[in-house]
Amino acid sequence: MSFVSVLEAVGKGFEKGLKWAVTYAVPVERLVGLLFPSAAPVAKEVADATSLIQSAVLLVEQKYAASGVQSGTGAQKLNEVMLLTEAAVTGLLAKAGVQVDSAYLQSVISAVVAILNVQSASAPVTATA
């Protein structure tokens, strides 16, 4: 089952669904290690930035799933996540000594989406509408 399919089921109860989705999200520490290996030991700012990206991805994915228009909207979702996170994430990463530009941040967001897709494929689906 894909991440989008899971979120379609979850999207019917948006607030309840977001809480459920976050419980199946990849732990931030694992994402930090995968996305920013040069930032070891893990800086609080990097963990906060990664958590912010993951939360924004989950929120945007769930929004689209709840409205039933998730297909073919990758670029729109990426733009929304960028609007929600770019300034804060760039600032947090700069504090940790990690300099990023918009293109790099878009790649990180895409990587988070890919990791969530893989993670959710192995997670049992127990949500009910």
Write the pLDDT tens digit of every residue in 13-57: 665 666 666 666 666 666 767 777 775 555 677 788 888 999 999
Q: What is the pLDDT of residue 101?
A: 94
Q: Is 128 contained in some domain?
A: no
Q: Vertex 69, ends 80 and 74: CA angle to 5°?
A: 45
Residue 56: inside a domain, yes or no?
A: yes
Q: Which of 111, 125, 121 is CA-nearest to residue 3? A: 121
The mean of the pLDDT values for the chain is 78
Number of domains composing the chain: 1
10 Å Cβ neighbour count for 29? Answer: 13
Distance between CA 84 and CA 54 in Å, rounded? 11
pLDDT for residue 48: 85
First to last CA, the chain: 16
Residue 96, amino acid: A
Residues above pLDDT 90, as percent of the chain: 27
Residue 96, domain member (yes or no) = yes
Q: Is residue 38 part of a domain?
A: yes
Task: Say what the pLDDT of residue 126 is.
Answer: 55
Band of residue 129 on the pLDDT scale cut at 50, 70, 90: very low
* CA dist., res. 36 & res. 47, Å (int): 10
Domain membership of residue 129 (yes or no) is: no
DSSP 37: G
Range of the domain at 13: 3-120
